[in-house]
């Protein structure tokens, strides 16, 4: 990777097919940025290669309903769950890189924020990949789905829609799901996986907060009401219908307003517990 400009380097890494090389490249890119080696051109309109994101040949991508069930009872079932989490983190690396290269004319802090997200997602990918290997499996051994990237692709034409529907919707669902998965892994005796999930929840609160930060910024710039605009965008882009229970503590920590949380609670189909964020 010879580029010394951040957004061009992010596009190069996004197109990279090898998962481990992408992860390593992202972590190195973050170091180079912090050391001042990289420039930033916020005005450049970059052209993407035909095939993004770059993905390895495996895992096979199938509709979500065809992904194997993740039973906690068997060793393979727990491995399938870990594999699904590795796949989520791989896609999360790609979505952060896409947010960097694709959208021009944002403040410099926007690009620094999304590089931080990419770096932390790369760390999560590394931690989970190593743990999966200790179980006798590698990334690609089981099928995966691409529903997260599908929303990234849908919102490629508008940074406001991207901030509303990817970090604040798709990724925010992880705030609700991670504590439940963490407890299941802990009960199954996988203490290390549970510790990794604690790290992921801590960092994901920050990632969703970044989405909230820039969604709020864009709403102010465009003189839009955040709550009403979110509802309009969710309908227009056919975002997934959100269902409870919701992790209200984590969502508050990530910057959701009480007005937004009130709407969420009204959608909950079961009581919403007060999960504790680490």
The domains of the chain are located at 6-43+52-241
Residues 224, 227, 228, 229, CA torsion sign:
positive
Nearest to 90, CA basis, from 113, 50, 121 = 121
Other C-beta atoms lying within 10 Å of the C-beta of residue 99:
28
pLDDT given at position 1: 62
CA–CA distance, 177 with 5 (Å, rounded to integer)? 36
pLDDT given at position 242: 85
CA–CA distance, 26 with 162 (Å, rounded to integer)? 21
Reported residue count of the chain is 278
User: Taking every pair of C-alpha atoms in the chain, what is the biggest distance, in angstroms?
Assistant: 53
Q: Is the pTM of this model over 0.85?
A: yes
pLDDT given at position 269: 52
Other C-beta atoms lying within 10 Å of the C-beta of residue 66:
10
Residues in a beta bridge with 5 = 39
pLDDT given at position 99: 98
What is the pLDDT tens value at each position of the chain, 278 positions in all? Answer: 668 999 999 999 999 999 999 999 999 999 999 999 999 999 999 988 778 999 999 998 888 776 766 677 788 889 999 999 999 999 999 999 999 999 999 999 999 999 999 999 999 999 999 999 999 999 999 998 888 899 999 999 999 999 999 999 999 999 999 999 999 999 999 999 999 999 999 999 999 999 999 999 999 999 999 999 999 999 999 998 888 889 999 999 999 999 999 988 886 654 444 444 43
Residues in a beta bridge with 39 = 5
CA–CA distance, 145 with 59 (Å, rounded to integer)? 9
For the segment(s) 6-43+52-241, the CATH number from 1.50.40, 3.40.1350, 1.20.120, 1.20.1260 is 1.20.1260
pLDDT given at position 37: 95
pLDDT given at position 177: 94
CA–CA distance, 111 with 44 (Å, rounded to integer)? 13
CA–CA distance, 245 with 251 (Å, rounded to integer)? 12
| Alpha-helix runs per DSSP H in 6-146 | 6-15, 19-34, 75-102, 108-134
Instruction: Write the burial class of residue 35 (CB in 10 Å: 0-12 exposed, 13-18 middle, 19+ buried).
Output: exposed
Tokens of 150: 């599908």
pLDDT given at position 274: 45
Nearest to 208, CA basis, from 166, 160, 265 = 166
């Amino acid at each position: 990777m010879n580029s010394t400009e951040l957004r061009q380097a992010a596009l190069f890494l996004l197109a990279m097919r090898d998962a481990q090389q992408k992860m390593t490249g992202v972590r190195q890119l973050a170091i180079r940025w912090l050391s001042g080696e990289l420039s930033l051109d916020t005005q450049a309109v970059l052209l993407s290669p035909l095939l993004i994101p770059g993905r390895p040949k495996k895992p096979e991508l199938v509709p979500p309903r065809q992904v194997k069930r993740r039973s906690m009872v068997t060793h393979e079932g727990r491995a399938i769950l870990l594999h699904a989490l590795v796949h989520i983190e791989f896609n999360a690396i790609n979505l952060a890189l896409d947010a960097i290269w694709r959208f021009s004319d944002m403040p410099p802090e926007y690009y620094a924020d999304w590089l931080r997200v990419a770096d932390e997602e790369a760390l999560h990918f590394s931690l989970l990949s190593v743990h999966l290997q200790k179980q006798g499996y590698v990334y690609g051994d089981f099928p995966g789905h691409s529903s997260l990237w599908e929303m990234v692709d849908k919102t490629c034409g508008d940074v406001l829609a991207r901030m509303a529907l990817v970090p604040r919707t798709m990724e925010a669902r992880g705030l609700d799901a991670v504590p439940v998965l963490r407890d299941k892994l802990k009960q199954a005796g996988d203490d290390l996986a549970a510790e990794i999930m604690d790290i992921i929840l801590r960092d994901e609160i920050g990632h969703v907060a970044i989405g909230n930060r820039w969604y709020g910024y864009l709403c102010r710039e465009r003189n839009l009401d955040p709550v009403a605009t979110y509802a309009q965008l969710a309908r227009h882009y056919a975002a997934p219908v959100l269902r409870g229970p919701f992790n209200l503590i984590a969502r508050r920590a990530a910057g959701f307003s009480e007005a937004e949380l009130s709407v969420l609670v009204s959608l909950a189909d079961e009581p919403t517990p007060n999960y504790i964020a680490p």
